[in-house]
Amino acid sequence: MDKPTEQESTSDNGWLSLELLKAVTPVLLLTLLVLVVGYKFIDPAPPKKIVISVSQSEGNYQAFAYLYAELLKREGVTLEIHQSQSEAESLKLLHEPKSGVDLALIQGGVASSEPTVGLVSLGSLYYQPAWVFCRCAKPVRHLTELKGKRIAIGTYGTGARVVADAVMAASGLDDTNSTLLVLGDDEAAQELQQGRVDAAFFLDVPHSPLIQSLAMDKHLRLLDFTEAEAYTRQLSFLHHLKVPDGGLSLAANLPDNEVNLLAPTVMLVARDSFHPALVYLVLKTISQVHGGGGLFNAPHEFPSAQGTDFALSEQAAYFYKSGLPFLDKYLPFWAATFVNRMLILLLPLLAVIYPLSKVVPSIYVWLVKSKIYKLYGELRYLETQIRLNSKPDAPSRHLADLKAIEDRVNQLKLPNAFAMHLYELRAHIAMVRGQIQLRESKLL
């Protein structure tokens, strides 16, 4: 038996490829449509540089920002630190689309008179206590005891100024009954220690050099807010803290008795357009920096969803409830980001392609068999004409029509799996030829 020639084999493969292409084309077009639609919904890749604004009047803000930058650098993200004059200015920069600022460290209470639309919180980070030191001959337990004194209240927009204004207003102190001096932290400390100021407000962490220096000064006393609970009821952004005996220095036994303090929290605030993937990376970073315990908080108490003046971002709310997403726990940042973005495309794609892949074989079989069915239709029509037409010249015309059908059958190239249908068709053609020849013999 002769083997198929190379030309015949090539023709078969070409026909097979053509029919297969016809079968898969709808699937390919639908896949392309899903990709185009999915691409419109997928978030763009996160930027490799972000900008945080910190008030230069708050030394600990800058120190923490540098820690964030070091950790983010390990993940391939650059954190640029912008120093503002105050927290009020940092908030203003967040509101300005062209400022380039993405994040800001903001103390609780600063935003009370500022619009919060377009901004979200990534959580509170730590307590920032208000320390009121005074040159007093005896312990001071009520802010009203400073009435008539020279009081440094911080510069406009700073955390110290916000707290000073709030607690003094609640206590009935103002510029009509006291001398209020607008001084920065360093200048206020110097004036206080030199006796040109009677009292001063400071907001800083307990281990800062400034607070330690003032606490060690034997000419100064730390105000004990014995009415701290009452203040927190009236000023919701404040929290009641206690410094235990020796809390500032065990060696020097400072303070020598428990002291009540008031403290807002420091929040990390972002634009509501801040990239979701970067939100999780930043949350992971601040957890590493602020997750340890301290004088005023237990381990893992911060960062926290509590104590913020802004609504939590969607990602932050998820983080504080359930932790990091699965991929962010086990993959490097950029790998997790890539996989997450691809899943947004691939999941709907698989949902479409999988059921369609079940249909493609059926479409392919139908396309192949339709070639045979079309010829069968012509053959049946010819049989009908043979029965109905009894003219003498009919058999010769019918044989010519049958020959045309047979030629097309012989030119038909089918995959081997469908060869049986081809042989059956040829057998039926032979049967019809027999019918024509029989009718022709009867007419002779």
CATH of 129-263, one of 3.30.9.10, 3.40.50.740, 3.40.190.10, 1.10.3720.10: 3.40.190.10
What is the pLDDT, as a whole number, of residue 15? 46
| pLDDT at residue 389 greater than cutoff 90 | no
pTM: 0.72
Residue 27's CB is within 10 A of a number of other CB atoms, namely 16
Average pLDDT over residues 233-261: 95
The answer to whether 235 and 174 are in contact (CB under 8 A) is no
pLDDT given for residue 282 in this prediction? 98
Mean pLDDT value across residues 247-252: 93
What's the whole-number mean pLDDT along residues 252-262? 94
* 128-147: average pLDDT: 93
Distance of CA 282 to the CA centre of its chain: 11
The answer to whether residue 414 scores a pLDDT higher than 80 is: no
Cβ proximity of 72 and 99 under 8 Å = no
CB burial of 140-159 (b: ≥16 within 10 Å; e: otherwise) equals beebebbeebbbbbbbebbb
Tokens 């003219």 belong to which residue? 391
Q: Which of 314-318, 346-350, 381-385, 386-390 bottoms out in mean pLDDT, i.e. has the lowest?
A: 346-350
Among residues of the chain, what percentage have pLDDT more than 70? 90
**What are the φ/ψ torsions at residue 396 (nearest 5 degrees)?**
-65, -40
User: Would you kindly state where each structural domain of the chain is located, as residue ranges?
Assistant: 6-36+353-443, 42-123+270-324, 129-263
Partners of 84 in beta bridges: 55
**Which percentage of the chain shows pLDDT scores above 90?**
56
pLDDT tier at 23, thresholds 50, 70, 90: low
More confident residue, 413 or 50: 50
Can you tell me the distance from the alpha carbon of 441 to that of 430, in angstroms, rounded to the nearest whole number? 16
pLDDT for 254 beyond 60: yes
Cα 372 from Cα 390, distance rounded (Å): 29
Residue 241 contacts residue 301 (beta carbons within 8 Å): no
pLDDT digits (tens, 9 = 90+) for 160-190: 999 999 999 999 999 999 999 999 999 999 9
CB 157 within 8 A of CB 335: no
Instruction: Tell me whether the CATH fold assigned to 42-123+270-324 matches the one assigned to 129-263.
Output: yes
Instruction: Burial-class residue 400 by CB neighbours within 10 Å (0-12, 13-18, 19+).
Output: exposed
- Mean pLDDT computed over 373-378: 85
Nearest by Cα to 64 from 286, 257, 261, 263: 286
Domain 42-123+270-324 in this protein, CATH class: alpha beta
Report residue 305: phi and psi, to 5°: -80, -10
Above 50 in pLDDT, residue 12?
no
Query: What's residue 18's pLDDT?
Result: 62
pLDDT at residue 98, as a whole number: 92
Reported residue count of the chain is 444
Per-residue confidence (pLDDT) for residue 113, from 0 to 100: 64
Q: How confident is the model at residue 439 (pLDDT cuts 50, 70, 90)?
A: confident
Is pLDDT of 352 > 50?
yes
The arithmetic mean of pLDDT across residues 367-380, rounded, is 83
Would the pLDDT of 114 be above 70? no
